[in-house]
Amino acid sequence: MCAHSERAWVLVNASPDILHQLQANPVLQPARAARDTALCGIVLVDGQIDHTTGLFMLRESTRALPIWCTDEAFADLTQGNPIFGVLGHYCGVERHALRADGSPFSVAGAEGIEWRALAVSSKPAPYSPHREAPQPGDNVALVLKDRASGRTLVYAPGLGAMEEHVWRAMQQADCVLVDGTFWSDEEMISLGLSKKRARDIGHLPQSGPGGMLEWLERLPAQVRRILIHINNTNPILDEDSVERAVLAAHRIEVARDGLEVEL
Amino acid sequence: MCAHSERAWVLVNASPDILHQLQANPVLQPARAARDTALCGIVLVDGQIDHTTGLFMLRESTRALPIWCTDEAFADLTQGNPIFGVLGHYCGVERHALRADGSPFSVAGAEGIEWRALAVSSKPAPYSPHREAPQPGDNVALVLKDRASGRTLVYAPGLGAMEEHVWRAMQQADCVLVDGTFWSDEEMISLGLSKKRARDIGHLPQSGPGGMLEWLERLPAQVRRILIHINNTNPILDEDSVERAVLAAHRIEVARDGLEVEL
């Protein structure tokens, strides 16, 4: 995801197809100089492969990459999968500590956005040095506020359980982009792809008691609800599925590549 | 690059866009089972980011990835950039030692192809534990022979200097896919992108005395010559450029995504 303030863009997580994303969005390539991008900072919600591998593709940056991440994600990215160490042989990393306590921060160059990070109940990456002893900063949700309008967005691609502080932020938001990984808790088991339930690996499923649909149903009517981070096993990817119809009936959208959300 | 024997495919280097490559080539997705691919093995020519990052994208494989690489590349991928260690938390790696001495080997499942690896003069990755003390196995060229027809192909994406044993293999080949990174030795310097010459970073430029064009000109007439691994600074990417016309006059082709070579 990218968020922008005037012409400065902040990348949220660097997915492996980041080069394709930059190519597909001319606005991200102002071409003020060779190898220029419009990115003035990168905010990571965790240290997972799908959120960090794209950093390798940005290694020819002419300046150290300004990256915000928690101490826990920093440990993942300097020990278990030392991407930051590898980048040190190229452009380098200008690391900013992200506190998962909800305190506001800004990304230099895009001051029109106020950011807050909230610890969420999920899991660190399998290669995390603390995989078996999860910490509050392993995964965060982000709350973005447009300082001019005061409108806010909650971004939470991994949400294993709904906690009070996250729920409060969602109720106050104008738009929520939340964990749409799995439709059902036993999705991966029933397909024979894993022995673990959705909740076991840090994702609240959409269906069933206490699932994401029940939570989204309780949000104030004006909150726009969009599912993101959708696994390729999730039946909602089929636009003709019963599950997709259920979402539509609940006024829940499904994100797609290139989706633009205006607050 | 992929090479195939009957319906089994061998991936040569796992570039960051490997998922796009799999999606774009239905033949690589036989779909005999969930998360199936037609890949029966992966051969790496070195431990560079652009040749190995795609391994992360194959981590949900239902079997350990069978990977051939030299001891030197193995050191890069277990120490400087421990991708193999990270994969150990997912599907794992079934590593096969690649000897850079030209001895023949096969990839199980694709026995119709005989492979040989030749040490080439180039450079290991910046994060290699022996970056400053290059070893013969840091980078290899591959010689593939179709056992049925006896026809051969040489694949050398990084070639810093033409050495006798590589030159011999190229002269005997039916097709050569060789280092097309830079047009001129000072290309990166003149664009202000680096202080290093092409040869300093392990790539023989196409133009100039002793350059790739001079070598390719001396190959037997029937050898098909294709430039690969072309940097985005190389003027040959512009089909209307003078440099591209020079290549055409020399009967040298420029590779493109999706190119199929039949031996």
For the cut 80, the answer to whether the pLDDT of residue B31 exceeds it is: no
Backbone angles phi, psi at B28, to 5 degrees: -85, -5
Most B CBs within 10 A among A53, A76, A257, hence the mutation to make, goes to A53
Q: Are A228 and A179 in contact (CB under 8 A)?
A: yes
Residue A246: per-residue pLDDT: 96
Q: Do A49 and B35 touch (CB under 8 A)?
A: no
Q: Do B34 and A126 touch (CB under 8 A)?
A: no
Share of chain A above pLDDT 90, in %: 81
B181-195 pLDDT tens trace: 999 999 999 988 888
The shortest C-alpha distance from A107 to chain B (Å) reads 27
The C-alpha atoms of residue B59 and residue B93 are separated, in whole angstroms, by: 9
The model carries a pTM of: 0.92
Q: Do B85 and A127 touch (CB under 8 A)?
A: yes
pLDDT tier at A8 (50, 70, 90 boundaries)? confident
Contacts of B141 (CB under 8 A, 6+ apart): B45, B117, B118, B120, B154, B155, B156, B159, B166, B169
Instruction: Tell me how crowded residue B242 is: count the other CB atoms within 10 A of its CB.
Output: 9
Residue B167: per-residue pLDDT: 98
Q: Tell me the count of A-B CB pairs closer than 8 A.
A: 55
Kindly give the pairing relationship between strand B152-156 and strand A175-179: unpaired
Q: Do B53 and A85 touch (CB under 8 A)?
A: no
Enter the tokens of residue A242.
């019963």
Query: Across residues A143-157, what is the average pLDDT?
Result: 97
The shortest C-alpha distance from A127 to chain B (Å) reads 6
The shortest C-alpha distance from A73 to chain B (Å) reads 15
DSSP state of A102: -
Residue for token pair 């310097």 = B189
The C-alpha atoms of residue A73 and residue A83 are separated, in whole angstroms, by: 11
For the cut 90, the answer to whether the pLDDT of residue A72 exceeds it is: yes
Query: Across residues A41-66, what is the average pLDDT?
Result: 96
The C-alpha atoms of residue B63 and residue A248 are separated, in whole angstroms, by: 38
The shortest C-alpha distance from B192 to chain A (Å) reads 9
Its ipTM equals 0.90
Partner residue opposite A193 with nearest CB, options B35, B89, B127: B35
Residue for token pair 């690896």 = B117
For the cut 90, the answer to whether the pLDDT of residue B236 exceeds it is: yes
Q: Are A123 and A161 in contact (CB under 8 A)?
A: no
Radius of gyration of chain B (CA): 18
Q: Which amino acid is at A253?
A: E
Q: Which amino acid is at B85?
A: G
